[in-house]
Each structure stands twice: as structure tokens, then as C-alpha cells.
Amino acid sequence: MLLTSYQLGTLTLPNRLVMAPMTRSRAVDGKPTAETATYYAQRATAGLIVTEGVQPTAASQSGPFTPGLHDDEQVAAWRVVTDAVHANGGRIFAQLMHGGRIGHVEVAGHQPAGPSAIAAGTEVFTPTGMKPAPVPRAFTTAEVADQVTAFAQAARNAVEAGFDGVELHGANGYLIQQFLSSSANQRTDGYGGSVAGRIRFAAEAVGAVADAIGRERVGIRLSPGGQIQGIVEEDVPVLYGELLKALPDIAYIHVMATTDDEVLLGLRKAWPTAFVLNPGGQIGPDESTREQGERWLANGADLISYGRAYLGNPDLVERFRLGLPLVAADRDTWFGAGGGYVDYPSYQH
């Protein structure tokens, strides 16, 4: 089933493989490079590519050497990337990623901000190495609305840059999940406290983006129950069940396997449009397999996303098709400039 086509909104995907978003930390002055265009174009046989996280505002940057989509130069630089992917027959969404409390003054030039003034209790990437995550400044209620507006404007910029759509990053401990989390969000206004309060920011951000560029061009990534970067979520089935009810019928939800199968299957049943499943769960050393993907398709998923497997295998679709061995990417080259980016070849028969 992985190699069968799928209709995602107005896009006809030639297969059910999604290249998952992966930070590569290779942007220059907040812009993707010519190598970025090569990297994504090499992987254009994926049914859908979702880019690395792209900050919607300068202030939302979470780590060094990541790209943005908030000024004209960035839009122009991304146009080179989307043109290259489309020239190779691919489809590509931009992942909009607001770091929230995950950030550092050395990265964005200011104290990061989040739902509450509560540090993540982990370390964050900075230009001078890993450092403790700082205590963030809490957004005012008016500033929360500003972040919703920023997501919508970044989505418009993405369409101008030639992207086929956008995915909001609601997983892995970044801003949207911070609002969902009972540990990161201890607000007493309408964006905290109850489940209805904690899902409100996610629902408003997705709704604003859908209004800006059309529901069929929007997805959101979620990691229900995921505990990365100091996140704690209470009563995951209820929290995410209510979130799905509050979301408009966008193109897809992209769910990481960060909770048990029963909860994931419940979310699948509750969601009316495409369900993308990432079987890899939290970030770890191993690539997901074709067998894992086929199992989840048999259990109701529509598309399967692969991250690490795409690093060393730009021709992952063909390797799955022909049963060819996969190349394990060198972890030391995951982030930063240098090799391990565009120098993994397709399989040589």
C-alpha cells in the first residue's frame, strides 16, 4: 500500500510516503541555500515533502542556522527550493515552527517567550554550544493573538514562495505543544487552565492559517503524550480528542507515535481527513521500516512519514519498491554545514 497513490486535497500523491520535517541547521542569514534546493529536489519522489521547521517571525527562532519565512529575501530564497522540487515532479509543504520557550538570547537576540514563565528544564542549541533553556517571558493575552496572526502571515508568505501548503509544528515541545501542556502552560486567562483553554491557541492558529491560504493546504504535526523538552500532558486521549474536535477540517494531521496504539487508533477514528502517522515516535537513533509503515496503513493511516530514513536515502521510495538496503546517515552530520547533506547517492545497481 505504501506505493499506491493518494489524493491529498487538490494534490495527487504518487505514493504514501511523506518526508518528515527534520532540522538540518544549514541556513545562512535565515535563508535556505542552493544546497537546500538540491537536498529537497533529490527527495522529490516522496509523495509529499515537509520541510525542516521554518520560523514565522524572527523572534520565534529556536536554534541557530534555521531558516525563516518572514521577509522578502527569505521568500525569494525559498522560491528557488520549491521550483527545484516542482521541476523534479515533487510536492512540498513548509513546516511553520515557533520555538516559544525553546530558544536563547544568543539565537534570536532576546529572551524567548512562551505561555508561562517556566523554563523547559532541558538544554537548547546555541551558536556556542548547548546551554540550559532560559526562563521565558510569558506572552500577554494580546501577544498570544499576535502569534496567531504571525502564523497566518507566514503561511501567506509560504504560498508566495511556491509551497503547496504548510504544516504547523504542534509537536516536540515547541510553542503550540507548550500551550497544550499542563507543565508549560499555567496561564489563568482564556489560553490556559482547562482543556478548552489549553487547546485554544492551537485551534486559533490552525484556523487563521486555513482562512489565509485554504484548508486543503494546511496540516498540523502532533506528538500526543510526547515528553520531549520538558513537556507533560495530562489525560492525553481527552486533550487530543477535544483538540481534533476544535480544528477545522484541514488537509491532514501528522501524528507521531508518542503514545500507545489504542490512543493513536482513537485519534485516527476521530479525524475526518487524512491521517499521517510517523512510526518513529520520539527522536532516536533508528530509522523506521517499511514494515512499520505497512502495519499502520493496514490500521487506518493514510500516509506514513519517514524522517531519519530520508537522510541517507534520497531514493527511499525506489529502495522500498525494490527491497534495496537502506543507508544509515552519520549522526554527526545531522546538523550544521559540511557533508552528510546532498552527498548521499541513489542506489547504484
Whole-number Cα distances in Å, 137 to 13, 54, 102, 115, 331 = 42, 22, 11, 8, 33
Please provide the DSSP assignment of 225-291 as one string: T--GGG---SSHHHHHHHHHHHS---SEEEEES-S-HHHHHHHHHH--SEEEEETT-SS-SS---HH
Give average pLDDT by consecutive 10-residue segment, the chain, 349 residues. Answer: 96 98 96 98 98 97 97 98 98 98 93 97 91 96 98 98 98 97 96 97 98 98 93 94 98 96 97 96 72 94 96 97 93 90 90
Ramachandran angles phi, psi of 80, nearest 5°: -60, -40
List the beta bridge partners of residue 49. 19, 92
Report the b/e string of 209-234 with b at 16+ CB within 10 A.
bbebbbbbbbbbbbbbbbebbbbebe
pLDDT at 318: 97
For residues 253 and 241, give the distance between their C-alpha atoms in angstroms, rounded to a whole number.
Answer: 13
Active-site annotation, residues: 174
Domain boundaries, the chain: 6-333
The verdict on pTM exceeding 0.85 is yes
Closest CA to 274 of 51, 93, 126: 93
pLDDT of residue 283: 62
Grid cell digits, residue 169: 509544528
CATH class label, 6-333: alpha beta
Q: How far apart are CA 111 and CA 103, in angstroms?
A: 8
What whole-number distance in Å separates Cα of residue 188 and Cα of residue 180? Answer: 14
How far from 70 is each of 56, 57, 58, 85, 218, CA to CA, in Å? 6, 6, 7, 21, 18
